[in-house]
Amino acid sequence: MADTFTVITPHYVNVVITTSKQQSGASIERRFQKNVPVRELKDKLELLTGGSAATMKIELYNKEDTLVSKLEDDTAILGSFPIEDGMRLHVIDKFELQTEFEDLLKVEKFELPPEEYAKRPGTVKAFLESNKLGKYNEEEMKRREEERRREEEENERLAKAATVGSRCEVSVPGNPKRRGTVMYAGQVDFKDGWWIGVKYDEPLGKNDGSVNGKRYFECQPKYGGFVKPVHVTVGDFPEENYDLDEEL
């Protein structure tokens, strides 16, 4: 690993923070400098969540709630990870103390009308506008939109080429590889774009082939999942043998 980390993206990032103690999905938002080392980030999160910086683990999830990375290198800076505004830092620890995190969740939120917020100086919006960051950088937004368009065209091509009944291997970043059978390929009601429905060989999925009451294919509970076609490779992938009876 390189001794020096360089941030070439915006200097600040706005993230959502959750903890393994919060079972209700509660969260708060915070803004951090991207050049903060992970060990210092843990100190900040210790004050906020009540977890111990010495034992806590931090996971980074994207807006689709997919694990992107684990912040395991204390010497690395936050900006060396693929972190963007709106992503989620999930703090895992024992959390034995009452924390600021819990107190903040009990406070009723005050929401400023958008027109009033736009007039205020020193806000995140004002910072982004003045520095032409995020959605206020027209060139960057066009680039991202073009990337999304090309990716979705590739997803459509792969979905149309996938044959129901074909064997496949699923490789989603941040997750172990899983094998299964293609059971559905096309568009769905619960999310935009093109998807492939997979019946996994093992109970490593999230559903039984149905989502929000609509059935796309049949399988046992926890054996089904929907994956973007770019993460699915169709081919000769025989079912792996998990014969536990042979283990001593």
CATH entry 3.10.20.90 includes domain 12-112: yes
Tell me what pLDDT residue 5 has: 47
Tell me what pLDDT residue 50 has: 78
Assigned token pair, 175: 């997750």
Tell me what pLDDT residue 41 has: 93
CA distance 65 to 61: 5
* Opening angle at CA 191, ends 206 and 91, nearest 5: 55
Tell me what pLDDT residue 167 has: 97
Tell me what pLDDT residue 214 has: 95
Share of the chain above pLDDT 90, in %: 47
Tell me what pLDDT residue 53 has: 85
CA distance 225 to 183: 10
Tell me what pLDDT residue 246 has: 45
Distances (CA, A) of 10 to 27, 85, 121: 23, 10, 19
CA distance 174 to 194: 21
> Contact, 218 vs 209, CB < 8 A?
yes
Q: Is 248 helix (H, G, I), strand (E, B) or coil?
A: coil
Which homologous superfamily does the CATH classification assign to the domain defined by 160-234? CAP Gly-rich-like domain (2.30.30.190)
Residue with tokens 């060990």: 39
Tell me what pLDDT residue 138 has: 76
Report domain extents, the chain: 12-112, 160-234
Neighbours of 152 (CB within 10 A): 16
Tell me what pLDDT residue 98 has: 47
Tell me what pLDDT residue 200 has: 96
Distances (CA, A) of 66 to 81, 100, 153, 175, 218: 15, 27, 21, 9, 24
Residues with pLDDT less than 50, the chain = 1-8, 97-98, 244-248
Tell me what pLDDT residue 46 has: 84
